[in-house]
Amino acid sequence: MAKVYKPFTCLGIVAIPISMYTAAQYNSIHFKQPHKVDNSKLKYKNTCGHCGKEFNLKSLIKGYEYVKEHYVVVTDNDLISLLKKSNWKK
């Protein structure tokens, strides 16, 4: 955790340092869109980063990168089933 503020408390001629830390940490999940054929990272020019072939947007899938260049593929049905299992309503 990062220090937010580092004040001193003075009691007479004695200064006592105080360290304050953040109580919460922001974590979020970011999905990538790897190539459907070989799960490799895509470039902005609509070419596969692995094989260099151009692709159309219909060949995009959702994936979570758990290790560099390694993805877990997530389908729309997976996301719908998660919504059904959770208490979240649209």
Assessment of whether the complete model's pTM goes beyond 0.75: no
> Do residues 60 and 68 make contact, with C-beta atoms less than 8 angstroms apart?
no
Task: Give the model confidence (pLDDT) of 10-49 as tens digits.
Answer: 777 887 777 777 777 777 888 888 888 888 887 667 788 7
The dihedrals phi and psi of 2, each to the nearest 5 degrees, come to: -90, 145
Query: How many whole angstroms separate alpha carbon 60 and alpha carbon 20?
Result: 45
